[in-house]
Structure 1
Amino acid sequence: MVSLMTVLVVLAGCGQEIEEPLNWEVESFEYMNQEEEMVSLEDLKGNVWMADFVFTSCETVCPPMTYNMTKLNEALEEEGVENVQFVSFSVDPEVDTPEKMREFMSGYDLANADWNFLSGYSQEEIETFAQESFKALVRKPDEGTQVDHGTYFYLVDQEGKIMKAYSGFQNVPIDDIVNDIKILQKS
């Protein structure tokens, strides 16, 4: 009887899946990173990746979000989870040059991870892309330097589907994200 229970427990663990996956398709893109290299959806396919929307001159949520992404990377390293890419889409592309993105990134330990900070598109393009692919608000008001944007982290699978969205600003569920990444990497 004990051996039957052991087999059932092992089998139950093998069939883990992401709970209530979003299954949103990321539309094809090709944008420039901080090193002035083009990065496309096709380049990311085959890997699990985390995405967010930030900008370098953000005075509110972006620094804590980027710090939280750094903490997520540290948790992944502690768990021995490899081959996770990080992608930040600039919501202020006309200001965020490769130089400004590199300067912003240098303030975070995440800069040593596989992290692409993308720009090189129009404001209208990122607003449409964020809404259509990530169901995320991005809006640059006519006045001021700050951009309105969502504060979620998005887990994207190896095929370019958004599986989950998590709080990226406060109460970030790092353990849940790490577990979901492990599930995706096993599938």
Structure 2
Amino acid sequence: MKNFMLLFFVGLLIFSCKGTPEEESNLNTEPKESIFLLDSKWQNQDGKELQLKDLKGKNLVFVMIFTSCQTACPILVADMQKIAAKIDPKKLKETTMVLVSIDPDNDTPAVLKKYAEERKMVGEPWLFLTSDKESIRELANVLAVKYKKISPIIFSHSNIITVFNKKGEMVNQAEGTVNSGAVAKTVNELN
């Protein structure tokens, strides 16, 4: 009888210490505000298909551009390069600098690749992405980027750089003239 009671209490203790299935499943899910919840498909500058959740585990710095832009986009691209230069080298290995085209009709993976090469933005940490119009619009809404096509090769758009942590949670946004040092500091302070 003593052994039975002992086994009963040990079993009860083990059972009560184990989390509920709901608690255990919450440990493996994304935060409710994670960019990784978007299930759209993208192509990088090499034509490789991916989803944003494939970027999980890295801090992300996002900007939306189009390659034929002659006004704001060159400034945004230069800002991204300045930010990357100011991120601690160890942190930069944990970071992906993501440039997303808002012009899928013209910015094919091959065009994005040539654009990246011309600006010496090849390899880690640089990633250029394109997708279909709906996926781009969905991401733009998440990033609070507004854009409108004015002609076949001209867009009016917001100038916003957004930082996400490794869980895909937005931690910072810089709009307009970007203080690259402040954005880099945000990335450097992420876990």
Question: What TM-score do you get using the length of structure 1 for normalisation?
Answer: 0.75
Query: Aligned with 2:167: secondary structure?
Result: coil
| Percent identity of paired positions between Structure 1 and Structure 2 | 22
Match of 1:150 in 2: 158
Match of 1:140 in 2: 149
Q: Deviations over 1:119-161 (max 9, x none)?
A: 1312x43223311x112212223x3421122111100111111
What does 1:13-162 correspond to in 2, within 5 Å? 24-26=33-35, 27-77=38-88, 80-81=90-91, 82-122=93-133, 124-131=134-141, 133-141=142-150, 143-162=151-170
Instruction: Check the 8 A contact 1:52/1:152 in 2, yes or no.
Output: yes
Question: What TM-score do you get using the length of structure 2 for normalisation?
Answer: 0.74
Task: Flag the structure with larger Rg.
Answer: 2
Q: Structure 2 unaligned runs (5+)?
A: 1-31
Match of 2:184 in 1: 178
Distance in 2 (alpha carbons) for counterparts of 1:112 and 1:119:
17
Root mean square deviation of aligned Cα: 2.0
**One-letter identity of the residue aligned with 2:45:** Q
Distance in 1 (alpha carbons) for counterparts of 2:148 and 2:68:
15
Q: Structure 1 unaligned runs (5+)?
A: 1-22
Higher RCO (Cα < 8 Å, 6 or more apart): 1
**One-letter identity of the residue aligned with 1:180:** T
Distance in 2 (alpha carbons) for counterparts of 1:69 and 1:151:
12
Distance in 2 (alpha carbons) for counterparts of 1:80 and 1:159:
18
Q: Deviations over 1:56-104 (max 9, x none)?
A: 1112111111111111111125x54332101111100111011111111
Instruction: Check the 8 A contact 1:73/1:113 in 2, yes or no.
Output: no
